[in-house]
């Protein structure tokens, strides 16, 4: 599986789930479980690379504004959910975090912890074994410049307005 196939799987699962996060998780889990085990491992590897690629201070600031605060764990969930929103949303957010102001729905719908585990659940369902550990990839610290909690709303005024951040 390459990144193109990864995003096609995310997008087709999103389309079938009709915007429902629980349905997305179920559809994606089922589709992955139907694949050969090495493709599930590849999906998980690509997920890890994309997740690490979003480990950036500017996205953490955006998540902080969107969610009204954002711990380390919450930012992990946010990045997982960002991937689940699809290729266009993911790359638009990397290019300009304020693009997330155009998303429909509520702030809590963006962070989806369960997406982190969907490949391992599918792998176990398909093979009866645990998914091999993913090699750690990505930076140990977020990329970019840290932000200040006191001024983060000013950094992203569209997000602050859209999500009621004060």
Domain residue ranges in the chain: 3-163
The total number of residues shown for the chain amounts to 166
Query: Nearest CA to 67 among 11, 112, 19, 23?
Result: 112
Q: Do 102 and 163 meet the contact criterion of CB atoms below 8 Å apart?
A: no
Q: Is the pLDDT of residue 151 over 70?
A: yes
Provide, rounded to the nearest whole percent, the portion of the chain with pLDDT above 90. Answer: 82
Token representation of residue 131: 């998914």
Rounded CA gap, 101 and 138, in Å?
Answer: 26
Q: Compute the average pLDDT of residues 143-148.
A: 94
- Is the pTM higher than 0.85? The answer reads yes
50 band by pLDDT with thresholds 50, 70 and 90: very high
Q: Is the pLDDT of residue 11 over 90?
A: yes
Token representation of residue 133: 């550990």
Q: Is the pLDDT of residue 108 over 70?
A: no
Rounded CA gap, 26 and 19, in Å?
Answer: 12
166 band by pLDDT with thresholds 50, 70 and 90: confident
Rounded CA gap, 88 and 7, in Å?
Answer: 10
Q: Classify 68 as helix, strand or coil.
A: coil
What confidence score (pLDDT) does residue 137 get?
67
Cα 152 from chain centroid (whole Å): 21
Other CB atoms within 10 A of residue 64 CB: 23
Which stretch of 73-77, 88-92, 106-110, 127-131 has the lowest confidence by average pLDDT?
106-110
What confidence score (pLDDT) does residue 109 get?
74
């Amino acid at each position: 599986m390459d990144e193109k196939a990864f995003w096609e799987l995310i997008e087709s699962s999103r389309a079938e789930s009709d915007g429902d996060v629980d349905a997305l998780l179920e559809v994606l889990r089922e589709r992955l479980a139907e694949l050969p085990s090495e493709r599930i491992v590849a999906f998980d590897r690509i997920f890890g690379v994309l997740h690490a690629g979003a480990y950036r201070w500017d996205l953490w600031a955006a998540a902080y504004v969107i969610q009204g605060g954002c711990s380390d764990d919450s930012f992990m969930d946010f990045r997982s959910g960002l991937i689940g929103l699809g290729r266009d949303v993911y790359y638009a957010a990397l290019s300009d975090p304020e693009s997330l102001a155009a998303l429909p729905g509520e702030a809590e719908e963006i962070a989806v912890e369960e997406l982190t585990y969907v490949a391992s659940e599918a792998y176990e369902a398909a093979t009866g074994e645990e998914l091999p550990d993913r090699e750690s990839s990505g930076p140990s610290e977020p990329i970019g410049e840290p932000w200040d909690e006191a001024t983060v709303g000013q950094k992203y005024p569209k997000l602050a307005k859209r999500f009621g951040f004060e």
